[in-house]
Every structure is written in structure tokens, then in C-alpha cells.
Amino acid sequence: MSSKNQIFCDQLILGSGPGGSVVFDQLTSSGFAPMIIEEGKSADDKAFQDNPAKLTFKYYRNGGVSPILGSPIFPHGEARVLGGGSTINGGLMWRTPKNIKDEWHKPLKEVGINDNEIYKFFDDIDDYMKIKNQKVLSNFDLDSDKLLSGANKLSWNVVQARRAVQSCQRSNQCGAGCPSGAKRSMIKSCLDNGLKNGGTIKTQLRFEKLITSNSKVTEVICTDLSKSPYEKVSIMPSDIFLCAGTLETPKLLLRSKILKAESLRLGLHLNLRFLAKFPDKINADLGTMFTYQIQEFLDQGIIIMASNLRKMYLSTILSKLNTSHNQKILNNYPYLGLYTTTVRPSSYGGFFKLPFIDAFPYFYLNKEDLANLKFASIQSSRLLFAAGAEWVLLPFSKPQFATSFDEACNYINNADKNDFDFLSVHAMSSLPITNKKLMTNDGRLKGLTNLYISDGSLLPSTIGESPQQTIMAFSHYISERWINRHMA
């Protein structure tokens, strides 16, 4: 390898999602000069003024669909772009829900972490991410208004969505990247700040393997994807923050033979999608992703929201139906709303280490999870019919039209786990900081003196709510501990 492909640096951050970006910002603000590397490309607002299908293919890992082995097999969505998930997500920013804080208090204390040392960062994050209640405009987001009216009829708890979005232009493509620049991703916040404060960002550099010697990571072997043909690059850092996300962080540790598959797990939320037809035109495509969130079942790990509606987003549903049903849907397009119900399962999946093809994630539903999916589907149907829906298309592998709440209950109660059709976009807790066997309470991987984890992997469990702000608070905590030790 030529010397130009060998890089020596102090702090190296692997992955530029919310976890890695916070570390980058915090270290540079304290006078350090870290380097952050990212496999995906950099993207400005203009880059997102394109067809959402093309954008998904370009800025999501595996073109948008990474399968999770299970029964049923289902897709997981994960970013592969500068800023990680924050660049292509819904911009929802919730603090850790109270029931989860209560659940974590004891396990965190047992490993010597005072949870206030983590949650104290929420105010700062609100501030620099400019998190606000999503502004509600009249005659826009009528799909969300339907949820509000259904919730009010049922006297359910409904709140305005808290988002890192300013002056939203209602481009209706949040999940494919914001073309107006309204969403405040990590590119517009921590990464920009870190760059101004002397940090270095390298994109299109994929880390392949960590080399260890004498209880230290001594070298990170990477591939430079910007070169044709690709070139190998070797980085020799003093300290490493591994922030590749809940699935890629464990995969790298498995590839590098640092951990065994049995010591890792995989926490996921499952998203069910409901299509509802209303008697009046709601033109859901004239809106943003959501303006309200139903939190009636938050303590049970269930939240309900509207989603972006575009004809292309219906394609997975249409492909499972016959031509006359497709016509029924497309003819009613202005009357349709697409809704997502997110469910926190009680079980965890894991990783198979397969020879030659990297580690593969799996997740199998248990009986309790199936009961939860049914409960969540029944409550979502109750809400949509209370909001005035004429029919609701249920989230099954063979989608079923229900024209009343009773009919929906009948279909749902008779469904088997393989009948449900779901996907995930929230992964977390593959390497919980509360796992004393693997982690120290400052986020270092035991057995290695210079490898820290700082991403969604670290969360003590799944949380039943959008995880980005919680992940960022944990990353602040990891950075603060590291900075305090190195400035002392």
C-alpha cells in the first residue's frame, strides 16, 4: 500500500449518523481534531430535488431494503449517506418516554450511571436541533387532522409532533431526504459545526475491518469508494468511536472477530401500514409526513401517525392486489390517507455469523409480540373508523379491505403471524451499555483500551418512540466522559 493510502490520526469516528455526529461536534468544540468517515455520499438540499425512488436507491443501504430473517421475513430501512438516518428520516425528535426512563433507572444505576448525566443534554439538543411542535397549517395535512378528530372522538391522548424542522414547505418526501432544506439533519447541525471547529469529514470511505494488537485497535482497513477501481486505505488512529448504527456496528465487530454472534442482540420496532379511504377529499400528498402523534398507548409501546403519501409509496401494497382493487385505490387517491403504527415488541433478535457473507440479522416474533401486533392493529382500525374512514386496508401480506370496525377486528383476530406485513426503520440496543460483560460505563468495549461505541446500539432496550434524540443524549454522555478524562 502506498504511503498516500495510509492515514495517521488521533480520534477516528466511524459513521456519521446522530451517534457519530454528536461525538464529532463535542470533540471539536473541546479543541480536539477528530476525523469522521462515512461510506455514503455527502448530499445538499439540491441533491434531494429528485425522484424519491431514485433517492431511496441512492441514500439507503442496499437500495432501501435490507432483509431481516424471520417468520415472516421483513425489510429494514437504514441510511447510507452523510448524516446517517437523520438525513432521510421523519425529523421527529422525542425525549425518552417516562416509562422507559423508569425501566432504565435501575440497570443504569447498577453499572454506575446516574441517568441524569444522560438526560441533562435534552435541553441542549432541543436548542441546537431547533426542535419545535410541527406548525399546523389550515388545508394542509388533512390526513393528520383525521387522526386528531378520531382521537378526540375517542378521548385519546394526541399531541403535536415535535420535529427538527423549520419552515416546512410540505414537499411530502421526508423519508427520501428533504428537498427544501427545512429538516435539520446532522449535516446542518453537528457535522457543520465540527467541520468549522477543525474536524475532518471523509465520505465514500467504507470501513471493512478493525485490526487489533495488545488490547488496542491499531488499524482500520477501509475501501475508498470514490476511486475507480476502488482503493484500499489504512487508518492508524489513537482512539476510535464506532458509530455505524445498530446493525453495522455489530457486523463490523463480528467481521473483525472482536465479538461472537452469541453476545449480540437486535432490538427493533415494527411498523404496520394502514391505508384508509375517507368520504371527503383530503389530498394527503399536499402535506408533510405528520403533524400529530397518537400517544394513547405509548406506555404499551404503540404510537400512531400519518405517513407521506405518494403513488409510488403505494406500489408495495398495489403489487399484492388484483387489477380491480388497484383501480379502486388509484381512483380514490385524493380521498386516501396512509398511516403508520409503530409497535415495540418484547422480544429481541440477533445476528447469524455466516461464512463468507458477513453477519445476517434475524428477528422472530413471539406469542406476546403477535398479541401486541393484533392489539395495535385493532386500535388503529378503531381510530380510523372513528375518524370517518369508509374502508381501511389492513397490513397483511394479502391486504384485506375492512368496511367497518367489527369486520377489521374479525380479520385481525383470525390472523396468524405470517399474515402480517410489517417493516422496521428503528433498530437499537444491540450492545447495551448496561451489559456489564461487554461494556464499561463510559461506552468502551471491554478488552480493548481504545474502542468506544456511540450509536443506537448502546441503548439499554428498545424505547417504543422515535429514538434519535435518546441516541444523541447517550452520545453526548459518552463524549463528555471521554473529554473529561482527556482534558484532566
Instruction: List residues near ligand FAD by CB under 6 A.
Output: 15-20, 37-40, 77-80, 84-86, 88-92, 175, 206-207, 243-246, 248, 425-426, 455-456, 466-468, 471
**DSSP characters over 203-249:** -SEEEEEEEEETTEEEEEEEEETTSSS-EEEEEE-SEEEE-S-TTHH
DSSP label at 95?
P
Distant-in-sequence, close-in-space partners of 267: CB < 8 Å, separation ≥ 6? 246, 348, 349, 427, 428, 429, 430, 459, 461, 462
Residue closer to ligand FAD by CB (options 276, 425) is: 425
When the beta carbons of 83 and 401 are compared against ligand FAD, the nearer one is: 83
- Compute the least distance from the CB of residue 277 to ligand FAD, in Å: 25
Distance of closest approach, residue 35 Cβ to ligand FAD, in angstroms: 12
Among the residues of 312-404, which ranges form H helices?
Answer: 315-318, 323-331, 367-386
For residue 475, give the C-alpha cell.
452520545
Q: How many CB atoms lie within 10 A of CB 71?
A: 11
Complex with ligand FAD: residue 372 or 475, whichever CB lies closer: 475
Secondary structure letter of residue 97 according to DSSP: P
- Grid cell for residue 89: 428520516
Could you tell me the smallest distance in angstroms from the CB atom of residue 327 to ligand FAD? 29
The CA angle 371-372-375, to the nearest 5 degrees, is 85
Q: In angstroms, rounded to a whole number, what is the distance separating the alpha carbons of residues 156 and 250?
A: 39
Q: Side-chain half-sphere of 160: how many Cα atoms within 13 Å?
A: 10
Based on CB atoms, which residue is closest to ligand FAD, 349 or 419?
A: 349
In 3D space, the residue among 186, 188, 174 whose CA is nearest the CA of residue 84 turns out to be 186
Min CB(131)–ligand FAD separation in Å: 11
Q: Report the residue number, 209 or 260, with the smaller CB distance to ligand FAD.
A: 209
Give 76 or 277: the residue with its C-beta nearer to ligand FAD.
76
* Closer residue to ligand FAD in complex, CB, 75/388: 75
Least distance in Å: CB of 470 to ligand FAD?
8
The most distant pair of C-alpha atoms in the chain lies apart, rounded to whole Å, by 70
Q: How far is the CB of 183 from ligand FAD (least distance, A)?
A: 9
Question: Given the complex with ligand FAD, which of 55 and 275 has the nearer CB atom?
Answer: 55
Nearer to ligand FAD, 193 or 246 (CB): 246
CB of 390 to ligand FAD, least distance (A): 29
- Residue 166: CB minimum distance to ligand FAD, A: 15
Other beta carbons within 10 Å of 203: 17
Q: Where are the beta strands (DSSP E) in 346-456?
A: 350-353, 359-362, 391-393, 401-402, 422-423, 427-428, 451-453
Tell me the CA distances in angstroms from 100 to 154, 160, 322, one per residue in order: 26, 21, 43
- In whole angstroms, the minimum distance from the beta carbon of 141 to ligand FAD comes to 15
CB of 86 to ligand FAD, least distance (A): 6
Residue 76, helix vs strand vs coil: strand
How many other C-beta atoms are found inside a 10 Å radius of the C-beta of residue 414?
9
The letter for the amino acid at 316 is: T
Nearest CB to ligand FAD, comparing residues 244 and 317: 244
